[in-house]
């Protein structure tokens, strides 16, 4: 059983004000080509299909194109999509029942009554049946009503309870598709800047991997950098494109998982994805940077000139790099400006402050007589305050 | 300050009481979301109003806060429970508002009363903080540590106002910081230094004036001739002070010398003056002696003239002495004469009184006799009459009793008559009711029959109606099916056509193709070679190639087309068949049902649909009417049944009433009999009550009161008779006694008179004898010589005084003559003049000396003072320099360098710290493009009140620009960063103020997506600590991102809020 693991498409996202539509179209097309080449049995998209809960018209058309192309792949794979925290459950679920007939499975809603269960897609291969359990983004408040009072206290207990109530057949191979913030003990997944707005830094929304370890493979979404967490078969596949400057060093890819007989470890392959326009950082002096090759890539420039800057550097750089993301200056001057100065914390006594002040004003310090006089007044003030 | 619970009543857009509990969101971010005007900012307003009696934007007055949706009897108030340094406090505040009064006025209407603004602060232990509104407001400010202006710049960023802290000028920022960082110490230091400098300066001035005045008081300048020199030096007193002092000393010394000279002269004059005085004294004495001698001689001459008087006095004295011997006898004689006359008078009086008493006794006896006679006559008959009256008393009582009895019987009679009348009335009423009931019942007799008829009609109508309804529905169905059938037919026909066409085409093509093949084959045929088809060697008629080039493919295509067409046709045929079946079936049904209804054959028609519809409606209406009528008929039947029952009841009651009437009649006759008996008894008693006054009169009836009165009268008369008798007896006895007494007294008086006469004679004799013994020839001489003792003494004294005077004068004359022997009077005037002159000269000298002395002393004092003051002045001057230098430094008044005071300097210190903390966040939010910095002192342009100005520094271009050049979104970021930085620094310093809550009202809408994401990320980081951050925003992304929301909804009756927590 071969499956392609994707997630966090974030269709419609803007990067520093630039629309990434063309890049996303390009990469989605690339993905479809790869899928055609690999001919997997299933394509799993683990959440965050759109970037906003009310995506723009263009984003919707783009996703429509993508799904249409996928459905024309021969043999047509089963496409399973779950809703992430950025998606609107209602919108993503549009025409879900109809699309089931066309091998597109949308799992956007969590069970609302005790009779409902998670959506399950069962596929067959040479070794038997493989059950795909589709668990959309879940907050404790969404599923509290299914369990007795007080059973669900946080995200971890919610996920755990949701999985336990499914009747999972241990003789089948089981795959879980989920979109949460998973941690393994104290190990946290590596995050980047593009996740910041949605992460709860207090760390209260994490789910420990112990809740999902029994699955043969866990296809995760939510974190934008590809990585494993807790075990080899529990993976985030990452975004298909770089969505922030901090990801410029990552290598984006599709994860292809081959499941063998029950009990064997799945075979993981990473197929690299090459974007239309890369996200890069350039660092150097202005004179060097300005003569680099013209590039359409998304570039973040850090200038290190110590001396006086050229006139209007940003405009000139924009001519070289039309998709300029940002210009930062990093030299001793800015470093010193951004550094917090020491000795701010120490609270000096009024006498010391006064001496310092006097010296600054006059250029010479206080003599003993003046000091004694000021001290006398300070004591008097203190006496008054006390009474 | 962290809110725990907020209660708003009739406040802003909240009509009723709205309670918002913050206990589930005590840290981290939460969002207040809702439509425009729903009441989001009102929540912040309520918090600020509760704390500071003012709203967050400062634009809405407390009095405007009463909700317009509120009912008039609901109060407007805000109650806020909050934690301050870990302990809970509660504030309850209400503005001025009008509400309905709880008491009604005189007419029972409710009025409107005005409720005054009030505030109450409840401490953690439950007690209320005492005081009026101002006191409590102050206490609240003290608790929070910030006043309203500061609070709304640091902890609450109100809509559109956040920019104020950023753009506030130095002054305002100084005020905020001085409160928060407690730099008032420096302000106080500054004030104290200036005060002290001022004091010192004043002292110096005072000292200078004193010195000047001391100089002016130096005297003796003119006397010693240094006038011009002195003036010159005085004009330059500041600089040539030492010379002035030296000159003064010199003057002083000269004066002293002068003074010594004067003293010597004065001693000499003193001596001369003493001598002159002595001479004068002597001369005066001699003149006095001469004057006295002259006086004494004159006195002696006078005395000699008064010798004669002396002699006469001597004679008088002698006579008076003799009289005194005789006086005793004279007095005794006078006394006796007087006694005799008085006794004679007394005797005549006593005799007269005795005669009077006699006469009185006689009258009293006569009266007594008369009284006794009357008494005997009247007593007996009166007694008799009284007894008679007493006998009649019991009869009166009996009469009374009988009267009461008769009254009671009469009352009973009346009651019975009333009862009888009532029963008669009742009977009549019942009869009437019976009649009316009878009439009504006859009206309803026909009801049951009607009911049955109606029921039958209704059922019939219903049947018909349902049948028609079914038919109508079927017709509708039929019409749609007909349309379907027609389309299906068309399609089928089309398909048939197509099929035929395609088949034909195919056949044609196939034929052609076949022919072609034949032609192709034929082309290759040669005579002698066998035909591949039949094997014949001869080919007489070869098939020819047609022109048309038909390929296998085309034929195939045609075939497939024709096959497809055929398939299609078959499908259509099938479909059409099914549709047709259904259609025919339905038509058949309709026909049968229709004929049932109309009675004859029926064909379905479109037009009938409408007709049937109308019919069905008509039937429905008819049905309704019939049902109404049925209801009424049923009612009538019920009524009839009930009526019968009622009639029976009425007859029963009528019978009862008549029975009772009879009983009463009987009772009435009994009572009348009783009344008659009582009346007879009363009459008999009345006859026996008669009375007569005298035996001649006829007895007449008499009432009880008359009897009692008469009885009383008789008793009185009897008493009176008794009393009279007693009185007269007593009087007679008294008069007799009186008469006897006076007789006795007459006798005694006569005896006394005789005795007295004898004594008088004896006395007279003795007096005559004494006169003769002492040499008085007659009584008249004796009388004239009498003198009192005082007069006698006086005469004797005058004699002796005269004699003494004479001897004294003589002595004096002899003495004075001795003294003035051989001397002459002296001339005093001349001597006196001389003495006077000497006196004046001496005095003058003395004066001048003392003046000189005082001048010298005075100068001495001034000189010492001057020396002292010079010393003091020097010291004071030095100190003043130091202090004024410090004061100017501290208040920033130094000329030249930037004018910044100590307090500002210290505040800059803190301010830079705040900006640094702010910059950490700001850089993160705007991607390291710019940061805030404090304007450097070099650029301060000479005002004292700058030092806390903010500039924007761009990292990329290394340029500085004013903070007002920031765009809206950038300003919001900067303000937010500053507020966060400020609260960081305050937390770090553990100052008196705790800023652990922050409220942000809008502003996120002005940020683009990335900046907003960054801002939310930063605020998220803050939730690590104990801080609570509340955000009002309508931005949709925030609603999805933030889990904890307070949703405010606007309804027609005011706003409502509810928590949406995940």
Sheet of B77-84: strand order equals: B14-21, B2-11, B77-84, B87-94, B118-122
Residue A201: which of B188, B1009, B1021 has the nearest Cβ? B1021
Statement to judge: residues B780 and B797 lie in one domain = no
Residue B658 lies in a domain: no
Query: What is the band of B202 on the pLDDT scale with cuts at 50, 70, 90?
Result: very high
Residue B886 lies in a domain: yes
A350: chain B residues, CB-CB within 8 Å: 185-186, 189
Q: Which two tokens stand for residue B522?
A: 């034929």
Closest residue in A to B29 (Cα–Cα): A200
**Chain B closest CA to A124's CA: distance in Å?**
37
Predicted confidence at residue B864, as pLDDT, reads 87
Residue B627 lies in a domain: no
- Between CA B218 and CA B234 the distance in angstroms is 11
Q: Which two tokens stand for residue B690?
A: 């008669």
Beta bridge partners of B112: B100
C-alpha neighbours within 13 Å on the C-beta side of residue B826:
17
**Per-position b or e across B297-336, b if 16+ CB within 10 A of its CB:** eeeeeeeeeeeeeeeeeeeeeeebeebeebeebbeebeeb
Closest residue in A to B195 (Cα–Cα): A377
**CB of A107 within 8 A of CB of A81?**
yes
**Chain B closest CA to A373's CA: distance in Å?**
9
Statement to judge: residues B746 and B823 lie in one domain = no
**Chain B closest CA to A166's CA: distance in Å?**
23
Residue A340: which of B916, B927, B1036 has the nearest Cβ? B916
Statement to judge: residues B151 and B5 lie in one domain = yes
A165 in contact with chain B, both atoms CB, cutoff 8 A: no
Predicted confidence at residue A343, as pLDDT, reads 47
Q: Which two tokens stand for residue B502?
A: 């395609």
C-alpha neighbours within 13 Å on the C-beta side of residue A69:
18
Statement to judge: residues B898 and B1047 lie in one domain = no
pLDDT digits (tens, 9 = 90+) for B244-298: 778 888 888 888 888 888 888 888 888 888 888 887 787 777 778 777 777 888 8
- Between CA A172 and CA B989 the distance in angstroms is 62
**Helix segments in B57-146, DSSP class H:** 133-144
A245: chain B residues, CB-CB within 8 Å: none
pLDDT digits (tens, 9 = 90+) for A193-209: 777 666 654 456 789 99
Count of domains observed in chain B:
5
- A361–B927: do the CB atoms touch at under 8 Å? no
Helices (H) and strands (E) in chain A, counts: 11, 19
A372 in contact with chain B, both atoms CB, cutoff 8 A: no
- Between CA B226 and CA B220 the distance in angstroms is 9
Q: Is the dihedral of CA B410, B415, B419, B421 positive or negative?
A: positive
pLDDT digits (tens, 9 = 90+) for B641-698: 888 888 888 888 888 888 888 888 888 888 888 888 888 888 888 877 777 777 677 7
Q: What is the 3-state secondary structure (H, E, C) of A327-350?
A: EEECCHHHHHHHCCCCCCCCCCCH
Residue B1022 pLDDT greater than 80, yes or no: no
Residue B381 lies in a domain: no
pLDDT digits (tens, 9 = 90+) for B692-722: 777 677 777 777 788 888 888 888 988 888 8
Question: Quick one: DSSP state of residue A106?
Answer: E
Query: What is the band of B363 on the pLDDT scale with cuts at 50, 70, 90?
Result: confident
Statement to judge: residues B610 and B731 lie in one domain = no
- How many Å separate Cα B689 from the centre of its chain? 86
- Between CA B360 and CA B954 the distance in angstroms is 156
Burial label for A185, CB within 10 Å (0-12, 13-18, 19+), is: exposed
Give the β-pairing of A181-183 and A206-208.
Answer: parallel
Coil, helix or strand at residue B890: helix
**CB of A32 within 8 A of CB of A66?**
yes
Statement to judge: residues B1 and B138 lie in one domain = yes
Distances from the Cα of B997 to the Cα of B69, B575, B962, angstroms: 31, 76, 30
- Between CA B217 and CA B211 the distance in angstroms is 10
B192 in contact with chain A, both atoms CB, cutoff 8 A: yes
pLDDT digits (tens, 9 = 90+) for A97-156: 999 988 999 999 999 888 999 999 999 988 889 999 999 999 888 888 888 888 888 889
- Between CA B224 and CA B207 the distance in angstroms is 29
Closest residue in B to A154 (Cα–Cα): B1062
CA-CA-CA-CA torsion for A291, A292, A297, A299, nearest 10 degrees?
A: -70
- Between CA B509 and CA B503 the distance in angstroms is 10
In terms of average pLDDT, the best of A237-251, A306-320, B723-737 is: A237-251
Sheet of A2-6: strand order equals: A104-107, A78-82, A42-45, A2-6, A253-258, A267-272
- B956–A377: do the CB atoms touch at under 8 Å? no
- How many Å separate Cα A207 from the centre of its chain? 16
Give B320-333 as a DSSP string. HHHHHHHHHHHHHH
Q: Average pLDDT for residues B43-49, to the nearest whole number?
A: 88
Average pLDDT of every residue of chain B: 82
Predicted confidence at residue A25, as pLDDT, reads 95
Residue B1020: which of A200, A341, A378 has the nearest Cβ? A200
- Between CA B661 and CA B418 the distance in angstroms is 11
Enclosing H/E stretch for A82 = strand A78-82
Statement to judge: residues B874 and B1018 lie in one domain = no
Close Cβ partners of A103 (under 8 Å, ≥ 6 residues apart): A71, A76, A77, A78, A79
Query: What is the band of B546 on the pLDDT scale with cuts at 50, 70, 90?
Result: low
Q: Which of B752, B769, B784 is the last residue of a domain?
A: B784
Statement to judge: residues B810 and B855 lie in one domain = yes
- Cis before residue A89, ω within 30 degrees of 0? no
Residue B505 lies in a domain: yes
Burial label for B402, CB within 10 Å (0-12, 13-18, 19+), is: middle
Question: Quick one: DSSP state of residue B964?
Answer: G
A309: chain B residues, CB-CB within 8 Å: 956-958
Distances from the Cα of A143 to the Cα of A30, A84, A148, angstroms: 38, 16, 11
- Between CA B712 and CA A295 the distance in angstroms is 156
Query: What is the band of A82 on the pLDDT scale with cuts at 50, 70, 90?
Result: very high
- B28–A354: do the CB atoms touch at under 8 Å? no
B956: chain A residues, CB-CB within 8 Å: 309, 313-314, 327-329
Q: Which of B767, B784, B801 is the last residue of a domain?
A: B784
- B958–A308: do the CB atoms touch at under 8 Å? yes
- B1037–A52: do the CB atoms touch at under 8 Å? yes
CATH number of the structural domain spanning residue B183: 3.40.50
Residue B113 lies in a domain: yes
pLDDT digits (tens, 9 = 90+) for B938-974: 665 555 556 778 888 888 777 888 888 888 888 888 8
- A333–B897: do the CB atoms touch at under 8 Å? no
- Cis before residue B766, ω within 30 degrees of 0? no
Beta bridge partners of B91: B80, B121
Q: Which of B890, B919, B953 is the last residue of a domain?
A: B890
Statement to judge: residues B36 and B145 lie in one domain = yes
CA-based end-to-end distance of chain A: 86
For B:15-44, CB contacts with A below 8 A are 28
- A344–B1023: do the CB atoms touch at under 8 Å? no
B1023: chain A residues, CB-CB within 8 Å: 201-202
Residue B144 lies in a domain: yes
- Between CA B451 and CA B440 the distance in angstroms is 18
Residue A258 pLDDT greater than 90, yes or no: yes
Distances from the Cα of A242 to the Cα of A13, A24, B1016, B1017, angstroms: 11, 10, 22, 20
Coil, helix or strand at residue A123: strand
Close Cβ partners of A310 (under 8 Å, ≥ 6 residues apart): A286, A316
- A353–B1021: do the CB atoms touch at under 8 Å? no
For B:978-1037, CB contacts with A below 8 A are 988-989, 1008-1010, 1012-1014, 1016-1017, 1020-1021, 1023-1024, 1036-1037
Q: Average pLDDT for residues B980-997, to the nearest whole number?
A: 72
For B:884-903, CB contacts with A below 8 A are 886, 889-890, 894, 897, 902
In terms of average pLDDT, the best of A373-377, B100-104, B121-125, B507-511 is: B121-125
Statement to judge: residues B479 and B574 lie in one domain = yes
- Between CA A181 and CA A209 the distance in angstroms is 10
- Between CA A60 and CA A56 the distance in angstroms is 7
A329: chain B residues, CB-CB within 8 Å: 955-956, 958
**CB of A201 within 8 A of CB of B1024?**
yes
Predicted confidence at residue A234, as pLDDT, reads 93
Coil, helix or strand at residue B385: helix
Question: Quick one: DSSP state of residue A52?
Answer: S
Statement to judge: residues B763 and B797 lie in one domain = no
Residue B888 pLDDT greater than 90, yes or no: no
Report pTM: 0.52
CATH number of the structural domain spanning residue B91: 3.40.50.300
Give the β-pairing of A253-258 and A267-272.
Answer: antiparallel
Closest residue in B to A376 (Cα–Cα): B189
- B913–A344: do the CB atoms touch at under 8 Å? yes
Residue B906: which of A198, A199, A353 has the nearest Cβ? A353
**CB of A273 within 8 A of CB of A252?**
yes
Q: Which two tokens stand for residue B746?
A: 């007459």
A18 in contact with chain B, both atoms CB, cutoff 8 A: no
- A358–B1024: do the CB atoms touch at under 8 Å? no
Q: Which of B64, B78, B73, B62 lies closest to B112, judged by CA?
A: B73
- Between CA B555 and CA B558 the distance in angstroms is 5
Close Cβ partners of A152 (under 8 Å, ≥ 6 residues apart): A140, A143, A144, A158, A161
Query: What is the band of A63 on the pLDDT scale with cuts at 50, 70, 90?
Result: very high
- B886–A341: do the CB atoms touch at under 8 Å? no
- A197–B956: do the CB atoms touch at under 8 Å? no
Sheet of A173-179: strand order equals: A119-125, A128-135, A173-179, A217-221, A234-236, A227-228
Residue B417 lies in a domain: no
For A:142-161, CB contacts with B below 8 A are 142
> Residue B1031 belongs to what domain range?
1-155+995-1062
Statement to judge: residues B938 and B1052 lie in one domain = no
Enclosing H/E stretch for B110 = strand B110-115
Better pLDDT: B386 or A302: A302
Chain B interface, mutation test: which of A197, A330, A359, A376, most B Cβ atoms within 10 Å? Answer: A197
Beta bridge partners of B932: B952
């Amino acid at each position: 059983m071969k499956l392609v693991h994707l997630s966090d498409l974030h269709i419609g996202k803007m990067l520093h004000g630039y629309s990434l539509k063309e890049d996303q179209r390009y990469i989605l097309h690339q993905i479809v080509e790869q899928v055609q080449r690999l001919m997997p049995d299933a394509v799993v998209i683990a959440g965050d299909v759109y970037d906003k809960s009310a995506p723009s018209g263009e984003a919707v058309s783009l996703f429509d194109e993508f799904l249409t192309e996928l459905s024309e792949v021969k043999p047509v794979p089963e496409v399973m999509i779950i809703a992430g925290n950025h998606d609107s459950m209602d919108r993503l679920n549009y025409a879900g029942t109809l699309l089931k007939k066309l091998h597109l499975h949308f799992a956007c809603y969590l069970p609302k009554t005790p009779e409902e269960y998670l959506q399950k897609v069962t596929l067959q291969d040479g070794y038997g049946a493989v059950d795909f359990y589709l668990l959309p983004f879940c907050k404790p408040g969404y599923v509290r009503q299914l369990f007795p009072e007080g059973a669900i206290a946080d995200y971890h207990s919610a996920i755990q309870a949701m999985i336990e109530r499914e009747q999972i057949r241990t003789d089948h191979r089981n795959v879980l598709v989920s979109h949460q913030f998973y941690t393994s003990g104290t190990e946290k997944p590596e995050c980047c800047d593009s996740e910041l707005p949605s992460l709860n830094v207090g760390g209260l929304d994490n789910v420990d991997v112990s809740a999902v370890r029994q699955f043969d493979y866990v296809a995760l979404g939510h974190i934008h950098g590809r990585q494993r967490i807790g075990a080899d078969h529990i993976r985030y596949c990452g975004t298909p494109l770089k969505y922030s400057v901090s990801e410029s060093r990552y290598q984006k890819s599709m994860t292809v998982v081959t499941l063998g007989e029950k009990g064997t470890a799945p075979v993981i392959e990473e197929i690299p994805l090459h974007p239309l326009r890369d996200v890069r950082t350039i660092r150097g002096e202005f004179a060097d940077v300005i003569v680099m090759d013209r590039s359409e890539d998304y570039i973040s420039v850090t200038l290190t000139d110590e001396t006086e800057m050229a006139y209007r550097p940003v405009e000139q750089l924009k001519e070289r790099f039309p998709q300029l993301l940002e210009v930062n200056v990093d030299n001793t001057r800015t470093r010193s400006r951004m550094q917090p100065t020491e000795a701010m914390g120490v609270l000096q006594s009024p006498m010391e402050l006064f001496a310092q002040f006097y010296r600054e004003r006059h250029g010479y310090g206080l003599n003993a007589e003046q000091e004694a006089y000021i001290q006398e007044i300070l004591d008097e003030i203190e006496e008054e305050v006390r009474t | 300050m962290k809110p725990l619970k907020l209660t708003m009543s009739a406040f802003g857009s909240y009509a009723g009481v709205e309670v918002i509990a913050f206990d589930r969101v005590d840290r981290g971010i939460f969002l207040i979301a809702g439509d425009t005007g729903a009441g989001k900012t009102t929540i912040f307003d309520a918090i600020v109003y509760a704390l500071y009696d003012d709203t967050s934007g400062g634009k809405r007055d407390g009095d405007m806060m009463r909700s317009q949706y509120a009912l008039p009897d609901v109060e407007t108030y805000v109650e806020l429970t909050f934690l301050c340094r870990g302990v809970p406090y509660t504030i309850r505040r209400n503005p001025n508002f009008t509400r309905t009064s709880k008491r009604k006025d005189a007419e029972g209407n409710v009025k409107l009363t005005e409720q005054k603004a009030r505030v109450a602060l409840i401490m953690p232990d439950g007690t209320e903080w005492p005081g009026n509104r101002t006191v409590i407001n102050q206490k609240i400010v003290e608790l929070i540590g910030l006043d309203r202006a500061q609070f709304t710049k640091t902890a609450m960023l109100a809509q559109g106002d956040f920019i104020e802290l950023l753009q506030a000028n130095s002054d305002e920022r100084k005020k905020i910081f001085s409160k928060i960082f407690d730099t008032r110490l420096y302000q106080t230091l500054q004030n104290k230094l200036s005060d002290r400098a001022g004091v010192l300066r004043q002292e110096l001035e005072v000292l200078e004036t004193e010195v000047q005045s001391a100089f002016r008081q130096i005297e003796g300048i003119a006397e010693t001739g240094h006038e011009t020199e002195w003036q010159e030096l005085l004009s330059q007193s500041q600089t040539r002070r030492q010379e002035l002092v030296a000159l003064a000393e010199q003057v002083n010394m000269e004066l002293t010398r002068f003074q010594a000279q004067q003293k010597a002269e004065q001693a000499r004059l003193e001596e001369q003056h003493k001598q002159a005085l002595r001479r004068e004294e002597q001369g005066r004495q001699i003149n006095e002696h001469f004057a006295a001698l002259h006086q004494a001689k004159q006195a002696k001459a006078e005395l000699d003239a008064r010798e004669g008087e002396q002699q006469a006095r001597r004679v008088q004295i002698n006579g008076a002495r003799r009289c005194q011997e005789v006086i005793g006898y004279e007095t005794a004689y006078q006394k006796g004469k007087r006694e005799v006359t008085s006794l004679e008078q007394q005797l005549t009086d006593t005799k007269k009184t005795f005669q009077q008493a006699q006469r009185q006794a006689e009258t009293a006896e006569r009266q007594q006799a008369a009284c006794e006679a009357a008494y005997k006559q009247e007593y007996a008959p009166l007694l008799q009459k009284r007894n008679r009256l007493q006998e009649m008393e019991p009869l009166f009582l009996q009469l009374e009793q009988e009267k009461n009895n008769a009254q009671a019987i009469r009352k009973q009679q009346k009651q019975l008559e009333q009862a009888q009348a009532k029963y008669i009335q009742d009977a009549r009423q019942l009869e009437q009711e019976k009649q009316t009931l009878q009439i009504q019942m006859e009206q309803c007799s026909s009801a049951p029959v009607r009911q049955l008829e109606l029921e039958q009609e209704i059922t019939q109508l219903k049947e018909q109606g349902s049948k028609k309804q079914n038919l109508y529905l079927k017709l509708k169905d039929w019409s749609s099916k007909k349309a379907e059938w027609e389309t299906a037919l068309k399609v089928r026909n089309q398909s048939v056509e197509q099929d035929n066409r395609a088949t034909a085409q195919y056949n044609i093509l196939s034929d052609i193709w076949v022919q072609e093949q034949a032609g192709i084959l034929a082309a290759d045929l040669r005579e002698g070679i066998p035909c591949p088809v039949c094997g014949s060697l001869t080919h007489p008629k070869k098939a020819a190639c047609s022109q048309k080039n038909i390929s296998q493919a085309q034929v195939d295509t045609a075939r497939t087309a024709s096959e497809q067409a055929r398939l299609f046709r078959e499908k259509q045929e099938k479909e059409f068949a099914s549709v047709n079946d259904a259609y025919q079936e339905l038509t058949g049904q309709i026909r049968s049902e229709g004929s049932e209804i109309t009675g004859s054959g029926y064909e379905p028609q479109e037009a009938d649909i409408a007709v049937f519809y109308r019919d069905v409606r008509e039937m429905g209406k008819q049905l309704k009417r019939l049902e109404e009528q049925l209801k009424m008929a049923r009612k009538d039947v019920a009524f009839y049944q009930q009526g019968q029952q009622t009639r029976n009841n009425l007859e029963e009651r009528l019978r009862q009433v008549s029975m009772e009437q009879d009983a009463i009649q009987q009772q009435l006759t009994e009572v009348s009999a009783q009344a008659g008996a009582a009346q007879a008894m009363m009459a008999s008693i009345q006859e026996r009550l008669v009375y007569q006054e005298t035996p001649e009169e006829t007895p007449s009836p008499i009432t009880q009161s008359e009897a009692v009165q008469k009885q009383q009268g008789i008793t009185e008369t009897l008493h009176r008779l008794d009393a009279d008798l007693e009185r007269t007896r007593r009087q007679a006895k008294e008069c007799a006694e009186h008469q006897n007494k006076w007789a006795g007294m007459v006798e005694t008086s006569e005896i006394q008179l005789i005795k007295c006469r004898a004594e008088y004679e004896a006395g007279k004799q003795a007096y005559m004898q004494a006169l003769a013994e002492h040499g008085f020839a007659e009584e008249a001489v004796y009388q004239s010589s009498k003198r009192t003792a005082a007069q006698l003494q006086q005469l004797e004294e005058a004699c002796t005084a005269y004699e003494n005077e004479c001897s004294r004068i003589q002595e004096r004359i002899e003495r004075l003559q001795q003294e003035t022997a051989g001397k002459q009077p002296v001339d005093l005037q001349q001597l006196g003049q001389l003495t006077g002159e000497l006196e004046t000269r001496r005095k003058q000298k003395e004066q001048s000396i003392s003046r000189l002395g005082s001048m010298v002393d005075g100068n001495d004092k001034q000189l010492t003072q001057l020396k002292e003051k010079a010393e003091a002045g020097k010291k004071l001057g030095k100190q003043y320099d130091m202090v004024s230098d410090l004061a100017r430094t501290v208040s920033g008044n130094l000329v030249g360098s930037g004018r910044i005071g100590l307090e500002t300097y210290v505040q800059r210190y803190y301010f830079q710290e705040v900006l640094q903390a702010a910059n950490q966040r700001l850089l993160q939010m705007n991607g390291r493009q710019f940061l805030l910095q404090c304007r450097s002192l070099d650029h301060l342009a000479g005002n004292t009140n700058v030092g806390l100005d903010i500039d924007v520094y761009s990292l990329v271009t290394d340029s500085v620009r004013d903070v007002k050049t920031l765009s809206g979104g950038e300003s919001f970021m900067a303000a937010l960063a500053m507020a966060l930085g400020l609260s960081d620094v305050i937390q770090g310093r553990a100052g008196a103020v705790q800023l652990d809550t922050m409220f942000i009202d809008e502003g996120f809408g002005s940020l683009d997506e990335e900046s907003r994401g960054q801002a939310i990320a930063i605020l998220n980081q803050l939730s690590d600590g104990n801080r609570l951050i509340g955000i009002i925003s309508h931005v949709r992304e925030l609603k999805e991102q933030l889990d904890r929301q307070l949703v405010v909804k606007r309804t027609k009756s005011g706003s409502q809020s509810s928590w949406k927590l995940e």
